[in-house]
Structure 1
Amino acid sequence: MTDSIFTPRRAFLACATATLALGLTAGAALAADKYPSKTIEVVTHAGAGGGTDVTTRMMMMRARRELKADMTVVSKRGGGGAVAMNYINKKKRDGYTIMTITPSHLFTIAMGKSVLKIDDLVGIARATDDPQLLMAKAGKFKDAKAMLAEAGKRKLKVAGTHVGGIDQVTVATFANKAGIKINYIPYEGGGHIVTNLIGGDVDIGVLNLSEAESQIKAGEIQPLIVLAKKRMGPLPNVPTSVEMGIDATFSTVRGFVTLKGTGDAELKTLEAKLVCDVSAYGTD
Protein backbone atom coordinates (compact mmCIF):
# COMPACT_ATOMS: atom_id res chain seq x y z
CA MET A 1 0.00 0.00 0.00
CA THR A 2 1.10 3.58 -0.53
CA ASP A 3 1.46 6.15 2.21
CA SER A 4 -1.33 8.19 0.56
CA ILE A 5 -3.78 5.58 1.83
CA PHE A 6 -2.18 4.07 4.92
CA THR A 7 0.14 6.05 7.16
CA PRO A 8 2.51 3.60 8.96
CA ARG A 9 1.78 3.30 12.68
CA ARG A 10 2.05 0.90 15.56
CA ALA A 11 -1.37 -0.57 16.24
CA PHE A 12 -1.37 -0.05 19.99
CA LEU A 13 -0.36 3.59 19.79
CA ALA A 14 -2.85 4.24 17.02
CA CYS A 15 -5.60 2.59 19.03
CA ALA A 16 -4.79 4.60 22.15
CA THR A 17 -4.40 7.90 20.30
CA ALA A 18 -7.56 7.48 18.28
CA THR A 19 -9.58 6.47 21.33
CA LEU A 20 -8.31 9.53 23.23
CA ALA A 21 -9.29 11.73 20.29
CA LEU A 22 -12.77 10.26 20.41
CA GLY A 23 -13.07 11.15 24.06
CA LEU A 24 -11.99 14.75 23.45
CA THR A 25 -14.58 15.20 20.71
CA ALA A 26 -17.41 13.37 22.46
CA GLY A 27 -19.11 16.56 23.63
CA ALA A 28 -19.41 17.92 20.11
CA ALA A 29 -20.69 14.60 18.86
CA LEU A 30 -23.65 14.71 21.26
CA ALA A 31 -25.04 17.64 19.34
CA ALA A 32 -25.45 15.50 16.23
CA ASP A 33 -26.92 12.09 15.57
CA LYS A 34 -24.90 9.38 17.23
CA TYR A 35 -22.61 7.54 14.82
CA PRO A 36 -23.04 4.77 13.93
CA SER A 37 -26.82 4.59 14.16
CA LYS A 38 -27.50 2.16 11.30
CA THR A 39 -25.91 -0.75 9.44
CA ILE A 40 -22.43 -0.22 7.99
CA GLU A 41 -21.73 -1.91 4.67
CA VAL A 42 -18.33 -3.53 4.19
CA VAL A 43 -17.76 -3.91 0.46
CA THR A 44 -15.42 -6.57 -0.91
CA HIS A 45 -14.52 -7.69 -4.42
CA ALA A 46 -13.53 -11.17 -3.25
CA GLY A 47 -15.20 -14.53 -3.70
CA ALA A 48 -16.28 -16.66 -0.75
CA GLY A 49 -13.53 -18.48 1.10
CA GLY A 50 -10.63 -16.39 -0.18
CA GLY A 51 -8.15 -14.55 2.00
CA THR A 52 -9.78 -11.17 1.43
CA ASP A 53 -13.22 -12.56 2.23
CA VAL A 54 -11.92 -14.20 5.41
CA THR A 55 -10.09 -11.03 6.50
CA THR A 56 -13.19 -8.91 5.87
CA ARG A 57 -15.47 -11.18 7.88
CA MET A 58 -13.00 -11.49 10.77
CA MET A 59 -12.79 -7.72 11.02
CA MET A 60 -16.55 -7.32 10.76
CA MET A 61 -17.36 -9.82 13.50
CA ARG A 62 -15.10 -8.09 16.01
CA ALA A 63 -15.74 -4.51 14.88
CA ARG A 64 -19.47 -4.98 15.44
CA ARG A 65 -18.74 -5.20 19.15
CA GLU A 66 -16.35 -2.24 19.12
CA LEU A 67 -18.71 -0.01 17.15
CA LYS A 68 -21.87 -1.36 18.82
CA ALA A 69 -23.50 -1.40 15.39
CA ASP A 70 -24.53 -3.95 12.81
CA MET A 71 -22.25 -4.53 9.83
CA THR A 72 -22.87 -6.51 6.67
CA VAL A 73 -20.53 -7.77 3.95
CA VAL A 74 -21.53 -6.79 0.42
CA SER A 75 -19.75 -8.74 -2.33
CA LYS A 76 -19.28 -6.88 -5.62
CA ARG A 77 -17.05 -9.06 -7.76
CA GLY A 78 -15.48 -8.28 -11.09
CA GLY A 79 -12.91 -6.13 -12.82
CA GLY A 80 -10.16 -6.53 -10.23
CA GLY A 81 -12.12 -4.39 -7.78
CA ALA A 82 -13.61 -2.03 -10.40
CA VAL A 83 -17.17 -3.20 -9.74
CA ALA A 84 -16.75 -2.71 -5.99
CA MET A 85 -15.28 0.77 -6.46
CA ASN A 86 -18.07 1.76 -8.83
CA TYR A 87 -20.56 0.61 -6.19
CA ILE A 88 -19.10 2.62 -3.30
CA ASN A 89 -18.68 5.69 -5.52
CA LYS A 90 -22.48 5.92 -5.69
CA LYS A 91 -22.80 5.92 -1.91
CA LYS A 92 -23.06 8.88 0.45
CA ARG A 93 -19.86 10.05 2.15
CA ASP A 94 -21.37 9.40 5.57
CA GLY A 95 -19.25 6.63 7.10
CA TYR A 96 -21.76 3.87 6.41
CA THR A 97 -19.82 2.35 3.52
CA ILE A 98 -16.26 1.06 3.84
CA MET A 99 -14.30 -1.15 1.47
CA THR A 100 -11.65 -3.81 1.83
CA ILE A 101 -8.75 -2.78 -0.39
CA THR A 102 -5.97 -4.93 -1.89
CA PRO A 103 -3.21 -4.50 -4.49
CA SER A 104 -5.73 -5.55 -7.15
CA HIS A 105 -7.66 -2.32 -6.55
CA LEU A 106 -4.47 -0.29 -6.91
CA PHE A 107 -3.56 -2.03 -10.18
CA THR A 108 -7.07 -1.37 -11.48
CA ILE A 109 -6.86 2.31 -10.54
CA ALA A 110 -3.37 2.63 -12.07
CA MET A 111 -4.64 1.17 -15.35
CA GLY A 112 -7.46 3.71 -15.47
CA LYS A 113 -10.16 1.06 -15.16
CA SER A 114 -11.83 2.52 -12.06
CA VAL A 115 -14.20 5.45 -11.63
CA LEU A 116 -12.23 6.28 -8.49
CA LYS A 117 -8.72 7.70 -8.23
CA ILE A 118 -6.31 7.02 -5.39
CA ASP A 119 -7.03 10.45 -3.90
CA ASP A 120 -10.74 9.63 -3.69
CA LEU A 121 -10.02 7.11 -0.91
CA VAL A 122 -9.15 7.61 2.75
CA GLY A 123 -7.37 4.91 4.74
CA ILE A 124 -8.89 3.58 7.95
CA ALA A 125 -6.71 0.63 8.99
CA ARG A 126 -4.30 -1.95 7.64
CA ALA A 127 -5.36 -5.53 8.30
CA THR A 128 -2.97 -8.15 6.90
CA ASP A 129 0.23 -8.58 4.91
CA ASP A 130 0.17 -12.16 3.63
CA PRO A 131 3.05 -13.57 1.55
CA GLN A 132 2.00 -15.25 -1.67
CA LEU A 133 2.67 -18.98 -1.90
CA LEU A 134 2.76 -21.45 -4.75
CA MET A 135 0.85 -24.58 -3.75
CA ALA A 136 0.00 -27.90 -5.35
CA LYS A 137 -2.23 -30.87 -4.68
CA ALA A 138 -0.49 -33.06 -2.10
CA GLY A 139 1.69 -35.66 -3.79
CA LYS A 140 1.69 -34.02 -7.22
CA PHE A 141 5.30 -32.85 -6.86
CA LYS A 142 7.94 -34.12 -4.45
CA ASP A 143 9.08 -30.57 -3.72
CA ALA A 144 9.69 -27.16 -5.28
CA LYS A 145 12.66 -28.39 -7.32
CA ALA A 146 10.55 -31.16 -8.81
CA MET A 147 7.86 -28.63 -9.71
CA LEU A 148 10.38 -26.40 -11.47
CA ALA A 149 11.85 -29.39 -13.30
CA GLU A 150 8.38 -30.30 -14.57
CA ALA A 151 7.79 -26.68 -15.57
CA GLY A 152 10.87 -26.93 -17.76
CA LYS A 153 9.20 -29.71 -19.74
CA ARG A 154 5.70 -28.30 -20.20
CA LYS A 155 3.50 -25.31 -19.44
CA LEU A 156 2.02 -25.75 -16.00
CA LYS A 157 -1.56 -24.66 -15.40
CA VAL A 158 -1.42 -22.02 -12.68
CA ALA A 159 -4.57 -20.78 -10.94
CA GLY A 160 -5.02 -17.30 -9.51
CA THR A 161 -7.67 -14.63 -9.15
CA HIS A 162 -8.62 -11.89 -11.60
CA VAL A 163 -6.93 -11.09 -14.88
CA GLY A 164 -4.48 -8.25 -14.30
CA GLY A 165 -4.57 -8.59 -10.51
CA ILE A 166 -1.87 -9.35 -7.94
CA ASP A 167 -1.96 -13.10 -8.59
CA GLN A 168 -1.33 -12.78 -12.32
CA VAL A 169 1.45 -10.25 -11.74
CA THR A 170 2.95 -12.63 -9.17
CA VAL A 171 2.84 -15.61 -11.51
CA ALA A 172 4.15 -13.71 -14.53
CA THR A 173 7.08 -12.28 -12.58
CA PHE A 174 7.94 -15.62 -10.99
CA ALA A 175 7.79 -17.43 -14.35
CA ASN A 176 9.98 -14.80 -15.98
CA LYS A 177 12.59 -14.92 -13.21
CA ALA A 178 12.54 -18.73 -13.12
CA GLY A 179 12.80 -19.03 -16.90
CA ILE A 180 9.62 -21.08 -17.28
CA LYS A 181 6.35 -20.70 -19.17
CA ILE A 182 2.93 -21.11 -17.62
CA ASN A 183 -0.73 -21.09 -18.56
CA TYR A 184 -2.55 -18.70 -16.22
CA ILE A 185 -6.14 -19.61 -15.35
CA PRO A 186 -8.20 -17.00 -13.43
CA TYR A 187 -10.85 -17.92 -10.86
CA GLU A 188 -13.27 -15.85 -8.81
CA GLY A 189 -11.55 -16.35 -5.48
CA GLY A 190 -9.25 -18.37 -3.26
CA GLY A 191 -11.99 -20.88 -2.46
CA HIS A 192 -12.38 -21.73 -6.15
CA ILE A 193 -8.61 -22.08 -6.54
CA VAL A 194 -8.43 -24.52 -3.63
CA THR A 195 -11.29 -26.61 -5.03
CA ASN A 196 -9.77 -26.87 -8.50
CA LEU A 197 -6.30 -27.51 -7.11
CA ILE A 198 -7.50 -30.47 -5.05
CA GLY A 199 -9.60 -31.65 -7.99
CA GLY A 200 -6.54 -31.79 -10.22
CA ASP A 201 -7.82 -29.25 -12.75
CA VAL A 202 -4.70 -27.10 -12.31
CA ASP A 203 -1.09 -27.83 -11.40
CA ILE A 204 -0.32 -24.87 -9.16
CA GLY A 205 -2.36 -22.35 -7.19
CA VAL A 206 -1.30 -18.89 -6.02
CA LEU A 207 -2.67 -18.62 -2.49
CA ASN A 208 -2.16 -17.06 0.92
CA LEU A 209 -1.79 -19.32 3.94
CA SER A 210 -5.17 -18.21 5.30
CA GLU A 211 -6.88 -19.47 2.15
CA ALA A 212 -5.62 -23.04 2.39
CA GLU A 213 -4.51 -23.59 5.99
CA SER A 214 -7.16 -26.20 6.77
CA GLN A 215 -6.43 -28.13 3.55
CA ILE A 216 -2.70 -28.08 4.31
CA LYS A 217 -3.36 -29.48 7.80
CA ALA A 218 -5.63 -32.13 6.26
CA GLY A 219 -2.87 -33.22 3.88
CA GLU A 220 -4.80 -32.22 0.77
CA ILE A 221 -2.60 -29.34 -0.37
CA GLN A 222 1.18 -28.96 -0.29
CA PRO A 223 2.82 -25.51 -0.11
CA LEU A 224 5.91 -25.52 -2.33
CA ILE A 225 7.40 -22.02 -2.33
CA VAL A 226 6.94 -18.90 -0.22
CA LEU A 227 7.40 -15.82 -2.40
CA ALA A 228 9.30 -13.91 0.26
CA LYS A 229 12.80 -13.30 1.61
CA LYS A 230 12.19 -15.17 4.86
CA ARG A 231 10.43 -18.43 5.65
CA MET A 232 7.07 -18.32 7.36
CA GLY A 233 6.83 -19.39 11.00
CA PRO A 234 3.85 -21.73 10.42
CA LEU A 235 5.65 -23.32 7.42
CA PRO A 236 9.29 -23.66 8.53
CA ASN A 237 10.11 -26.37 5.98
CA VAL A 238 8.84 -24.51 2.93
CA PRO A 239 11.67 -22.73 1.05
CA THR A 240 11.46 -19.15 -0.16
CA SER A 241 11.83 -18.01 -3.74
CA VAL A 242 14.94 -16.05 -2.75
CA GLU A 243 16.54 -19.18 -1.29
CA MET A 244 16.00 -20.87 -4.63
CA GLY A 245 17.69 -18.05 -6.50
CA ILE A 246 14.47 -16.60 -7.89
CA ASP A 247 14.12 -12.89 -7.15
CA ALA A 248 10.33 -12.72 -6.99
CA THR A 249 8.68 -11.69 -3.72
CA PHE A 250 5.02 -10.76 -3.37
CA SER A 251 2.46 -10.38 -0.62
CA THR A 252 -1.19 -9.42 -0.41
CA VAL A 253 -1.67 -6.34 1.75
CA ARG A 254 -5.26 -5.83 2.82
CA GLY A 255 -6.79 -2.84 4.53
CA PHE A 256 -9.96 -0.83 4.91
CA VAL A 257 -10.81 2.48 3.27
CA THR A 258 -13.74 4.80 2.85
CA LEU A 259 -14.52 7.71 0.56
CA LYS A 260 -12.89 11.11 0.72
CA GLY A 261 -15.43 13.61 1.98
CA THR A 262 -16.52 11.47 4.91
CA GLY A 263 -16.81 13.61 8.05
CA ASP A 264 -13.93 13.87 10.51
CA ALA A 265 -16.00 12.56 13.41
CA GLU A 266 -17.01 9.44 11.48
CA LEU A 267 -13.43 8.86 10.32
CA LYS A 268 -12.07 9.17 13.86
CA THR A 269 -14.62 6.65 15.11
CA LEU A 270 -13.81 4.17 12.35
CA GLU A 271 -10.06 4.59 12.80
CA ALA A 272 -10.29 4.09 16.56
CA LYS A 273 -12.50 1.03 16.44
CA LEU A 274 -11.05 -0.70 13.38
CA VAL A 275 -7.44 -0.14 14.44
CA CYS A 276 -8.29 -1.57 17.86
CA ASP A 277 -10.01 -4.45 16.10
CA VAL A 278 -7.27 -5.45 13.66
CA SER A 279 -4.63 -5.16 16.39
CA ALA A 280 -6.66 -7.69 18.37
CA TYR A 281 -5.83 -10.39 15.87
CA GLY A 282 -2.18 -9.64 15.47
CA THR A 283 -1.64 -6.90 12.91
CA ASP A 284 -0.14 -3.45 13.06
Structure 2
Amino acid sequence: MERKNQTTLEKFILVGLSDDPKVQILLFVIGLLIYVLTVAGNLAIILLIQVDQHLHTPMYFLLNNLSFTEICYITTTMPKMLWDLLSGDKTISFAGCAVQMYSFLTTAATEGVILSVMAYDRYAAICHPLHYTMLMSQPTCRWLLAASWVIGNLNAVVNTTFVFSQNFCGPNKIVHFFCDIPPVLHLSCSDTSLAETGTFIVSGSILITTLTLIVFSYFLIVSAVLKIHSVQARIKTFSTCASHLTVVSIFYSSAIFTYMRPSSSHSMGEDSLISILYTIITPFLNPLIYSFRNKEMKSALLNVLGKKMHCVF
Protein backbone atom coordinates (compact mmCIF):
# COMPACT_ATOMS: atom_id res chain seq x y z
CA MET A 1 0.00 0.00 0.00
CA GLU A 2 2.79 2.41 0.88
CA ARG A 3 4.47 1.74 -2.46
CA LYS A 4 1.17 2.31 -4.26
CA ASN A 5 0.48 5.59 -2.46
CA GLN A 6 3.88 6.99 -3.44
CA THR A 7 3.51 6.70 -7.20
CA THR A 8 5.84 9.11 -8.97
CA LEU A 9 4.12 11.86 -10.95
CA GLU A 10 4.57 11.79 -14.71
CA LYS A 11 4.05 15.51 -15.25
CA PHE A 12 3.76 18.86 -13.50
CA ILE A 13 1.63 21.93 -14.20
CA LEU A 14 3.35 25.32 -14.19
CA VAL A 15 0.90 27.83 -12.72
CA GLY A 16 2.74 30.76 -14.33
CA LEU A 17 2.22 34.44 -13.64
CA SER A 18 -1.52 34.75 -14.36
CA ASP A 19 -4.66 32.71 -15.15
CA ASP A 20 -6.46 35.60 -16.84
CA PRO A 21 -6.48 35.02 -20.67
CA LYS A 22 -6.27 38.76 -21.41
CA VAL A 23 -3.34 39.21 -19.05
CA GLN A 24 -1.68 36.12 -20.56
CA ILE A 25 -1.85 37.65 -24.05
CA LEU A 26 -0.28 40.87 -22.74
CA LEU A 27 2.42 38.91 -20.90
CA PHE A 28 3.13 36.89 -24.05
CA VAL A 29 3.63 40.03 -26.17
CA ILE A 30 5.85 41.67 -23.53
CA GLY A 31 7.75 38.43 -22.89
CA LEU A 32 8.36 37.75 -26.58
CA LEU A 33 9.61 41.31 -27.10
CA ILE A 34 11.96 41.03 -24.10
CA TYR A 35 13.26 37.64 -25.24
CA VAL A 36 13.94 38.77 -28.82
CA LEU A 37 15.64 41.99 -27.64
CA THR A 38 17.70 40.09 -25.06
CA VAL A 39 18.98 37.52 -27.56
CA ALA A 40 19.57 40.19 -30.23
CA GLY A 41 21.32 42.54 -27.77
CA ASN A 42 23.66 39.87 -26.42
CA LEU A 43 24.37 38.56 -29.94
CA ALA A 44 25.22 42.13 -30.99
CA ILE A 45 27.76 42.37 -28.14
CA ILE A 46 29.32 39.04 -29.16
CA LEU A 47 29.57 40.05 -32.84
CA LEU A 48 30.88 43.52 -31.98
CA ILE A 49 33.66 42.08 -29.83
CA GLN A 50 34.56 39.60 -32.58
CA VAL A 51 34.85 42.18 -35.37
CA ASP A 52 36.60 44.99 -33.45
CA GLN A 53 40.28 44.27 -32.84
CA HIS A 54 40.42 46.89 -30.06
CA LEU A 55 38.05 44.74 -28.00
CA HIS A 56 40.23 41.63 -28.12
CA THR A 57 41.26 41.99 -24.47
CA PRO A 58 40.63 39.81 -21.39
CA MET A 59 37.87 42.13 -20.17
CA TYR A 60 35.89 41.80 -23.41
CA PHE A 61 36.70 38.11 -23.75
CA LEU A 62 34.86 37.65 -20.44
CA LEU A 63 32.05 40.00 -21.50
CA ASN A 64 31.73 38.02 -24.73
CA ASN A 65 31.25 34.81 -22.75
CA LEU A 66 28.93 36.49 -20.25
CA SER A 67 26.68 37.50 -23.15
CA PHE A 68 26.71 33.93 -24.49
CA THR A 69 25.81 32.64 -21.02
CA GLU A 70 22.98 35.17 -20.78
CA ILE A 71 21.48 33.87 -24.03
CA CYS A 72 21.62 30.29 -22.71
CA TYR A 73 20.34 31.46 -19.32
CA ILE A 74 17.18 33.19 -20.53
CA THR A 75 16.53 30.42 -23.08
CA THR A 76 16.20 27.85 -20.27
CA THR A 77 12.99 29.53 -19.04
CA MET A 78 11.51 32.00 -21.54
CA PRO A 79 10.56 29.80 -24.55
CA LYS A 80 8.61 27.40 -22.32
CA MET A 81 6.92 30.29 -20.51
CA LEU A 82 5.97 31.92 -23.83
CA TRP A 83 4.57 28.64 -25.14
CA ASP A 84 2.50 28.22 -21.96
CA LEU A 85 1.09 31.74 -22.33
CA LEU A 86 0.30 31.26 -26.02
CA SER A 87 -1.10 27.71 -26.00
CA GLY A 88 -2.58 27.54 -22.52
CA ASP A 89 -0.92 24.13 -22.11
CA LYS A 90 1.10 24.58 -18.92
CA THR A 91 2.10 20.96 -18.43
CA ILE A 92 5.72 19.85 -18.31
CA SER A 93 6.89 16.25 -18.04
CA PHE A 94 8.81 15.00 -15.03
CA ALA A 95 11.93 14.55 -17.18
CA GLY A 96 11.39 17.92 -18.89
CA CYS A 97 11.17 19.63 -15.51
CA ALA A 98 14.43 17.99 -14.41
CA VAL A 99 16.18 19.06 -17.65
CA GLN A 100 14.92 22.63 -17.29
CA MET A 101 16.09 22.83 -13.68
CA TYR A 102 19.50 21.38 -14.58
CA SER A 103 19.94 23.83 -17.50
CA PHE A 104 18.82 26.81 -15.43
CA LEU A 105 21.06 25.97 -12.45
CA THR A 106 24.05 25.39 -14.75
CA THR A 107 23.78 28.75 -16.51
CA ALA A 108 22.86 30.66 -13.33
CA ALA A 109 25.88 29.38 -11.37
CA THR A 110 28.15 29.83 -14.41
CA GLU A 111 27.06 33.45 -14.71
CA GLY A 112 27.77 34.03 -11.02
CA VAL A 113 31.31 32.64 -11.38
CA ILE A 114 31.96 34.64 -14.57
CA LEU A 115 30.87 37.82 -12.77
CA SER A 116 33.39 37.09 -10.00
CA VAL A 117 36.12 36.44 -12.61
CA MET A 118 35.25 39.80 -14.21
CA ALA A 119 35.71 41.47 -10.82
CA TYR A 120 39.15 39.83 -10.53
CA ASP A 121 39.95 41.08 -14.05
CA ARG A 122 39.16 44.67 -12.99
CA TYR A 123 41.26 44.21 -9.84
CA ALA A 124 44.22 42.95 -11.90
CA ALA A 125 43.90 45.81 -14.41
CA ILE A 126 43.62 48.59 -11.80
CA CYS A 127 45.80 47.29 -8.96
CA HIS A 128 48.49 45.48 -11.01
CA PRO A 129 48.57 47.17 -14.43
CA LEU A 130 52.20 46.17 -15.12
CA HIS A 131 51.45 42.49 -14.51
CA TYR A 132 47.97 42.52 -16.07
CA THR A 133 48.90 40.67 -19.26
CA MET A 134 50.52 37.94 -17.20
CA LEU A 135 47.72 37.68 -14.63
CA MET A 136 45.02 37.62 -17.31
CA SER A 137 46.79 35.82 -20.14
CA GLN A 138 44.78 33.96 -22.79
CA PRO A 139 45.39 30.51 -21.23
CA THR A 140 44.39 31.87 -17.80
CA CYS A 141 41.16 33.37 -19.19
CA ARG A 142 40.27 30.09 -20.89
CA TRP A 143 40.96 28.06 -17.75
CA LEU A 144 38.85 30.45 -15.67
CA LEU A 145 36.01 30.22 -18.20
CA ALA A 146 36.23 26.41 -18.23
CA ALA A 147 36.20 26.39 -14.42
CA SER A 148 33.05 28.55 -14.47
CA TRP A 149 31.18 26.01 -16.58
CA VAL A 150 32.49 23.06 -14.53
CA ILE A 151 31.27 24.70 -11.31
CA GLY A 152 27.94 25.52 -12.96
CA ASN A 153 27.45 21.91 -14.06
CA LEU A 154 28.45 20.49 -10.68
CA ASN A 155 25.98 22.85 -8.99
CA ALA A 156 23.22 21.68 -11.34
CA VAL A 157 24.00 17.96 -11.00
CA VAL A 158 24.04 18.02 -7.20
CA ASN A 159 20.96 20.23 -6.75
CA THR A 160 18.86 18.50 -9.43
CA THR A 161 19.74 15.13 -7.89
CA PHE A 162 18.73 16.36 -4.44
CA VAL A 163 15.37 17.60 -5.74
CA PHE A 164 14.36 14.75 -8.04
CA SER A 165 15.41 11.99 -5.67
CA GLN A 166 12.33 12.96 -3.62
CA ASN A 167 8.93 11.26 -3.91
CA PHE A 168 6.24 13.21 -5.77
CA CYS A 169 2.83 11.63 -5.26
CA GLY A 170 0.49 14.47 -4.34
CA PRO A 171 -0.30 17.87 -5.93
CA ASN A 172 1.48 18.56 -9.22
CA LYS A 173 0.94 22.34 -9.59
CA ILE A 174 4.22 24.26 -9.48
CA VAL A 175 3.51 27.80 -8.26
CA HIS A 176 6.07 29.31 -10.62
CA PHE A 177 6.66 29.88 -14.34
CA PHE A 178 9.59 27.40 -14.49
CA CYS A 179 10.97 24.44 -12.55
CA ASP A 180 12.96 26.10 -9.78
CA ILE A 181 14.19 24.38 -6.61
CA PRO A 182 11.84 25.79 -3.89
CA PRO A 183 8.48 25.35 -5.70
CA VAL A 184 9.33 21.82 -6.93
CA LEU A 185 10.51 20.69 -3.48
CA HIS A 186 7.30 22.16 -2.06
CA LEU A 187 5.35 19.46 -3.93
CA SER A 188 7.29 16.51 -2.54
CA CYS A 189 5.36 14.08 -0.34
CA SER A 190 8.53 12.91 1.44
CA ASP A 191 10.68 14.61 4.08
CA THR A 192 12.56 17.35 2.20
CA SER A 193 14.67 18.61 5.11
CA LEU A 194 17.84 16.89 3.83
CA ALA A 195 17.25 18.08 0.25
CA GLU A 196 16.53 21.64 1.43
CA THR A 197 19.69 21.67 3.55
CA GLY A 198 21.75 20.20 0.71
CA THR A 199 20.53 22.66 -1.92
CA PHE A 200 20.91 25.53 0.56
CA ILE A 201 24.53 24.57 1.27
CA VAL A 202 25.49 23.99 -2.38
CA SER A 203 23.75 27.07 -3.84
CA GLY A 204 24.65 29.18 -0.80
CA SER A 205 28.32 28.21 -1.03
CA ILE A 206 28.54 29.31 -4.66
CA LEU A 207 26.59 32.51 -4.02
CA ILE A 208 28.58 33.48 -0.95
CA THR A 209 31.98 32.49 -2.39
CA THR A 210 31.52 34.35 -5.67
CA LEU A 211 30.00 37.40 -3.96
CA THR A 212 32.83 37.45 -1.39
CA LEU A 213 35.40 37.40 -4.20
CA ILE A 214 33.59 40.29 -5.90
CA VAL A 215 33.33 42.35 -2.71
CA PHE A 216 36.99 41.68 -1.81
CA SER A 217 38.13 42.59 -5.34
CA TYR A 218 36.23 45.88 -5.20
CA PHE A 219 37.53 46.61 -1.72
CA LEU A 220 41.07 46.40 -3.11
CA ILE A 221 40.04 48.41 -6.19
CA VAL A 222 38.50 51.21 -4.09
CA SER A 223 41.60 51.28 -1.87
CA ALA A 224 43.82 51.66 -4.95
CA VAL A 225 41.58 54.28 -6.57
CA LEU A 226 41.51 56.42 -3.40
CA LYS A 227 45.31 56.66 -3.57
CA ILE A 228 45.06 58.42 -6.94
CA HIS A 229 45.39 62.18 -6.37
CA SER A 230 43.52 63.37 -9.46
CA VAL A 231 39.74 63.35 -9.05
CA GLN A 232 39.30 63.03 -12.82
CA ALA A 233 41.61 60.01 -12.91
CA ARG A 234 39.67 58.41 -10.04
CA ILE A 235 36.36 58.82 -11.87
CA LYS A 236 37.84 57.52 -15.14
CA THR A 237 39.37 54.49 -13.43
CA PHE A 238 36.28 53.58 -11.45
CA SER A 239 33.95 54.13 -14.43
CA THR A 240 35.35 50.94 -16.00
CA CYS A 241 33.69 49.04 -13.12
CA ALA A 242 30.31 50.79 -13.19
CA SER A 243 28.63 48.45 -15.70
CA HIS A 244 29.85 45.34 -13.92
CA LEU A 245 28.74 46.62 -10.52
CA THR A 246 25.26 47.41 -11.84
CA VAL A 247 24.82 43.86 -13.21
CA VAL A 248 26.21 42.29 -10.02
CA SER A 249 23.83 44.32 -7.84
CA ILE A 250 20.71 43.23 -9.75
CA PHE A 251 21.75 39.59 -10.14
CA TYR A 252 22.94 38.90 -6.59
CA SER A 253 20.35 40.90 -4.66
CA SER A 254 17.44 39.07 -6.27
CA ALA A 255 19.15 35.64 -6.16
CA ILE A 256 20.04 35.97 -2.46
CA PHE A 257 16.54 37.21 -1.67
CA THR A 258 15.13 34.05 -3.26
CA TYR A 259 17.57 31.30 -2.25
CA MET A 260 19.11 32.42 1.03
CA ARG A 261 15.93 32.86 3.08
CA PRO A 262 14.21 30.15 5.12
CA SER A 263 11.29 28.60 3.21
CA SER A 264 8.90 29.50 6.04
CA SER A 265 9.55 33.24 5.62
CA HIS A 266 8.16 33.64 2.10
CA SER A 267 5.53 32.36 -0.31
CA MET A 268 6.01 30.60 -3.66
CA GLY A 269 4.10 33.35 -5.45
CA GLU A 270 6.42 35.97 -3.98
CA ASP A 271 9.46 34.02 -5.19
CA SER A 272 7.96 33.78 -8.67
CA LEU A 273 7.74 37.57 -8.95
CA ILE A 274 11.21 38.17 -7.46
CA SER A 275 12.82 35.59 -9.76
CA ILE A 276 11.71 37.65 -12.78
CA LEU A 277 14.51 40.06 -11.84
CA TYR A 278 17.37 37.60 -12.21
CA THR A 279 15.89 35.24 -14.84
CA ILE A 280 14.48 37.80 -17.28
CA ILE A 281 15.29 41.41 -16.37
CA THR A 282 19.04 40.92 -15.76
CA PRO A 283 19.77 39.25 -19.13
CA PHE A 284 17.58 41.91 -20.80
CA LEU A 285 19.39 44.83 -19.14
CA ASN A 286 22.94 43.54 -19.60
CA PRO A 287 23.34 44.59 -23.27
CA LEU A 288 21.88 48.02 -22.46
CA ILE A 289 24.13 48.47 -19.42
CA TYR A 290 27.30 47.37 -21.19
CA SER A 291 26.60 49.40 -24.34
CA PHE A 292 25.36 52.69 -22.93
CA ARG A 293 27.74 52.81 -19.93
CA ASN A 294 30.85 51.68 -21.82
CA LYS A 295 32.72 54.16 -24.01
CA GLU A 296 34.75 51.52 -25.83
CA MET A 297 31.63 49.55 -26.77
CA LYS A 298 29.89 52.72 -28.00
CA SER A 299 32.99 53.69 -29.98
CA ALA A 300 33.24 50.20 -31.53
CA LEU A 301 29.54 50.30 -32.46
CA LEU A 302 29.89 53.72 -34.09
CA ASN A 303 32.95 52.50 -36.02
CA VAL A 304 31.08 49.46 -37.33
CA LEU A 305 28.02 51.55 -38.26
CA GLY A 306 30.30 54.16 -39.87
CA LYS A 307 31.97 51.52 -42.05
CA LYS A 308 28.59 50.12 -43.13
CA MET A 309 27.30 53.60 -44.02
CA HIS A 310 30.52 54.24 -45.97
CA CYS A 311 30.02 50.99 -47.93
CA VAL A 312 26.40 51.90 -48.72
CA PHE A 313 27.23 55.33 -50.04
The TM-score by the shorter chain falls in which range?
A: under 0.3
> By percentage of residues, which structure has more strand?
1
TM-score (norm 2): 0.22
Task: Kindly indicate whether structure 1 or structure 2 has the higher relative contact order, using CA contacts under 8 Å at least 6 residues apart.
Answer: 1
> By percentage of residues, which structure has more helix?
2
Greater gyration radius: 2
